[in-house]
Structure 1
Amino acid sequence: MAITMFMSIAVSGCDLVLEERNEQFDSRNEITESGYFEKGWIPRWLPDSATNIREKHEVDTIATVLVFEYSSGDEPPFGNECVATDSERVSAPRLTAHWWPAVAQLKAMPLLYRCPDDNSGFLAASADGKTAYFWRTP
């Protein structure tokens, strides 16, 4: 069951209001039904085994943070065009959420990737080999 939360934020010093959405999905199939792949907020390379998926994005941009669990049969970078990188080349995400790790934690993860074909996103996988984090900032 997908859970949706909306939040609008006003950017200090301007009239720009950015609407943010938080989503939670049990499986990849729920995302397919929601249309989020087509809207571009969640990358299509998300593995079939993805579960416990949490996502936050800005409605009018491609800014996204995404965390999910995956089975050991799927391995990062999950067949997409991401390439291994080091922590010095990793950019901080623009969005944050209470479930999102600190930048230092992301940079300390053993598997770090830059995803040039996905609007310059980044992918990190935890040492337990079960949790992955994806983010992009326009």
Structure 2
Amino acid sequence: MQTQYRDLDEARAAGAIQRGWLPAWLPARTGAITEAHDLDTNRRAARFVLPDGARIEPPGCAPASGRLPSPALALPGWPASLHQDGAAGRYRLYRCADGYAAFDANHGYVWN
């Protein structure tokens, strides 16, 4: 199932954070959120626009280098470059207890 939210308030009101489809650490002014989840496999993926100047260090995550796996769920606008050699030069990459996170200057991506 794929859902779009205008902002974090709308996602929160819809229960996307409470259900675990989006991480609780997203900045308050996160916008243009697209998330997908599969209840049968417990897979999830989300992309979002970061607030101006936001630099996220997600809790429970450690910086990663090298290639991260592609998400099991496809989302429109997901950059293929995120999963290619050299991605660490274009994105801040993280391995998390429950999946992965990546950020460029304007966008964030989380998946498991």
User: Where do 5+ consecutive residues of structure 2 fail to align?
Assistant: none
Q: Write out the 4+ residue segments of structure 1 that deviate beyond 4 Å after TM superposition.
A: none
Name the TM-score, length of structure 1 as normaliser. Answer: 0.70
Q: Is the 8 A contact 2:82 2:91 kept in 1?
A: no
Alignment RMSD (CA, Å) = 1.6
For residues 1-138 of structure 1, what are the structure 2 equivalents within 5 Å? 21-78=1-58, 80-88=59-67, 90-102=68-80, 105-107=81-83, 108=87, 109-116=90-97, 119=98, 121-126=99-104, 129-136=105-112
Percent identity, please: 30
How far did residue 101 of structure 1 move?
2.1
Higher CA-based Rg: 1
Letter in 2 for 1:81: G
The number of residue pairs the alignment matches comes to 107
**Corresponding residue for 1:7?**
none
The answer to which structure, 1 or 2, has the higher relative contact order (CA under 8 A, 6+ apart) is 2
Runs of 5+ consecutive residues of structure 1 not aligned to the other structure: 1-20
1:49–1:74 Cα contact (<8 Å) kept:
no
Q: Give deviations 1:43-74, integer Å, cap 9, x for gaps.
A: 11111121010111102332111101112342
